[in-house]
Amino acid sequence: MTNEYTALAKFYEDIIYDDKYKLWMNYIVKLVKENTLGKLGLDVACGSGILTRLLKRNGFDVTGVDFSQDMLNVAQEKSYNEKLNIRYLKEDMRSLKTLNKVDFITVINDGINYIEDKYLLKTFKNFYNSLKKGGTLIFDVSSPYKLKNVLGNNAFGDDGDNLSYLWLNSYNDEFKSVDISLSIFEKQGDKYVRFNESQIQYTHEVNKLSEILSSVGFNVVKISDALGNELKETSDRILFVLKK
């Protein structure tokens, strides 16, 4: 079982990126603008760099960080093609160390769901130590509701002309985690080639996260759903804005 975004990297944006995603990322950029004192930032768990590139286009001096070399390769290539000069670093957020402190850190779209409970404190301490005084941390998690009821034991899929995928989930009641198994089929000439990817996402409750964050020294600015609205029992995403 790997958690390293390997096979998925090449197809990630084809599968995930749509108008809704664009709207969401624009909201995150707006939040960064409203909450940061300076331009220097880290986009942690940057993946293929969708948000990293958008932040750069909005005038931020942002570095992308991810532990998947395959995702970083895609991020580098896309930035190069879009003539955006962005640094990318291969680092695991559980052991993140930065030389220069930054004004803001973003960890958007589930990065923290890949972190097991036992590493949460260390991970948030790493973020705290990487921020300047007054710096801003913006991160989200897929909610416990989403992991249990939406991802749950459900299957998703899409049957495109050149790309099809089958996404099977299995919810683990004991560990409150979801095992995700993705099979991606890419048309290559007259045949389809299959790629496999396995991941585990962990449930993090708001109260648990809030306690850890305040023990690290963060002050909560706002906790909301993905687009800044009031959290509901059935919200699929929980978004935190915090200050050092």
Ligand X SMILES: C[S@@+](CC[C@H](N)C(=O)[O-])C[C@H]1O[C@@H](n2cnc3c(N)ncnc32)[C@H](O)[C@@H]1O
Residue number with CB closer to ligand X (41 or 111): 111
Minimum Å gap between C-beta 97 and ligand X is 13
Binding site residues, ligand X, CB under 6 A? 5, 45-47, 50-51, 66-68, 71, 92-94, 108-111, 114
Under 8 Å between Cβ of 131 and 142: no
User: Which amino acid, 197?
Assistant: E
Minimum Å gap between C-beta 41 and ligand X is 13
Residue number with CB closer to ligand X (5 or 60): 5
Residue closest to ligand X (Cβ): 47
Residue pointed to by tokens 């509701």: 145
Minimum Å gap between C-beta 110 and ligand X is 5
For residue 176, count other CB atoms closer than 10 A to its CB.
Answer: 15
Residue number with CB closer to ligand X (36 or 68): 68
Backbone φ and ψ for 190, nearest 5 degrees, come out as: -105, 15
Residue pointed to by tokens 């220097």: 40
Residue number with CB closer to ligand X (161 or 168): 168
Pairing of strands 237-243, 131-142: antiparallel
Minimum Å gap between C-beta 149 and ligand X is 19
Backbone φ and ψ for 178, nearest 5 degrees, come out as: -120, 125
Residue number with CB closer to ligand X (67 or 88): 67
CA neighbor of 223 nearest in space, from 201, 197, 243, 203: 243
Minimum Å gap between C-beta 93 and ligand X is 4
Minimum Å gap between C-beta 189 and ligand X is 29
Alpha-carbon distance of 45 to 178, in angstroms, equals: 19
Minimum Å gap between C-beta 163 and ligand X is 17
Alpha-carbon distance of 49 to 13, in angstroms, equals: 10
Residue number with CB closer to ligand X (103 or 197): 197
Residue number with CB closer to ligand X (192 or 227): 227
CA neighbor of 242 nearest in space, from 140, 171, 100, 116: 140
Alpha-carbon distance of 68 to 46, in angstroms, equals: 10
- Report CA Rg, the chain: 18
